[in-house]
Amino acid sequence: MSTMRITKRGSGTVLLLIALLLTAVLAGCGSDTEATTTTATVTNTTGTTAETTTESTGGPATGTPYKIGLLTTLSGPVAFLGKDIADTSQMEVDKINAEGGVDGHPIELVVEDDGMDPGKAVAALTKLAQDKDVLAITGLTITALEPAVRPVAEREKVPFVILSPTLPDLRARGDKYVFNISANEMNNAYSIIQILKAKGVTKAVGITANAPLSVVTLDEIKKQAEAEGITFSILPDAIDTNAVDVTPQVTKLKELVEKEGAQVVVSTVWPTQVGSMVKTLRQLGSEVPVVTDAVAADNSFLAMGGDEINGISMPGVKTLVVDALADSDPQKPVVLAFRDRYQAKFNMIPGAMAAGAYDELQIIVNALKVSGPDRDKLRDALEQTTDYVGAIGVFSYTPTDHEGVAVGNFALLDIKNKAFELVK
């Protein structure tokens, strides 16, 4: 009996020692991995590129790295979007470092996964923010995460330049450290009204998805439409973001269109349901053209339906049609250079996510060149950004306006033969 007890106690102590040893070894290995990552990011073997840049010190960056955090979604249903952001950001960081970084300091990207979960996002953001070497954080794929993460950035006083669009009531908080890259619902609505005016529309019917951003966007479209003298009725029924069959709502939509004598349907339905909605509309015998919002403007949308998506119009990021842009458009050279670089590396046309990732990084780096490695000075420099020509649009921030993108940033697109074209 007593022998057994001693043995048990003995084995317990041994196990504890082993556990402690393992933890120590793993912690040691962990920091080794980090060191390796640092060296890998700093080294560049490609040499300077031949592209013209605004500032090039003529050689690769070799000073102490400036860290920029990237909080994005690398797991879960939208992992592919987050991966696009991460890959584009790394591509741009490598380019910036090859051209001399920021005053000789290379940029080091520190990537964290939020898994589309607010709890995880808060933990990841806190971890990034509490690393004093991280000067700014960027990324954020999903609007739904914002209520959780914005206060963290404010509390930790770290500049947070985010890609997801922000809903109006969150914007009204007047966060001092959070900056938006994405064009918000007012930009979206402005460009949709431009499309309606180009097509001579006087009466429209709107349909939305049951997501807050979609509802807010459609309400803003209605407001701006009526200010331009366009009659606009919104269908009370929304299309669920997970809907497989949209027949009930589309039947009611068709009835409303006929009752109002509407010339177009304006939709803020989620891109995955737009094709189905248009197909059902046509099957029910309605030929009414559909205008959807900028969220759908991506080459991946062209694969989400058959021939029924021809004829849909929408505002979209200029990367999709850059070759057709007027030479007088100040964005054209920037968008063209980015599009060519992205396409050479990833063999795809960049969409709004990639364009946003590019702009986020550029804006931070431009401000860093002015402010140096200090978070508050960086925040002030960001607020001084004026008329920065990016891929998404032309950005100007002020201490009271952290929204950035000037209206009219979108190209107006028609889908013809399953490709994007400029609206004539």
Would you tell me which residues interact with other proteins (CB under 8 A)? 76-81, 83, 209-210, 237-240, 242-245, 247-249, 251, 272-273, 275-276, 279, 282-285, 300, 303-308
**Min CB(14)–other proteins separation in Å:** 31
**Min CB(343)–other proteins separation in Å:** 16
> Which residue's CB is nearer to other proteins, number 269 or number 413?
269
> Which residue's CB is nearer to other proteins, number 23 or number 242?
242
Q: Output 52-60 pairs: Cβ under 8 A, ≥24 positions apart.
A: 53/99, 55/99, 55/100, 55/369, 56/99, 56/100, 57/99, 57/100, 57/103, 57/104, 58/100, 59/100, 60/97, 60/98, 60/100, 60/101, 60/106
Distance of CA 208 to the CA centre of its chain: 21
Sign of CA dihedral 85, 86, 89, 90: negative
Query: Residue 393, CB half-sphere, CA atoms under 13 Å: how many?
Result: 23
164 vs 85: CA distance, rounded Å: 12
> Which residue's CB is nearer to other proteins, number 163 or number 186?
163
**Min CB(173)–other proteins separation in Å:** 26
> Which residue's CB is nearer to other proteins, number 40 or number 284?
284
Contact criterion met (CB below 8 Å) for 138 and 163: yes
**Min CB(354)–other proteins separation in Å:** 13
319 vs 156: CA distance, rounded Å: 35
**Min CB(269)–other proteins separation in Å:** 10
320 vs 207: CA distance, rounded Å: 25
> Which residue's CB is nearer to other proteins, number 89 or number 249?
249
**Min CB(252)–other proteins separation in Å:** 8
**Min CB(85)–other proteins separation in Å:** 13
> Which residue's CB is nearer to other proteins, number 286 or number 362?
286
**Strands 411-416 and 419-422, how do they pair?**
antiparallel
> Which residue's CB is nearer to other proteins, number 308 or number 360?
308
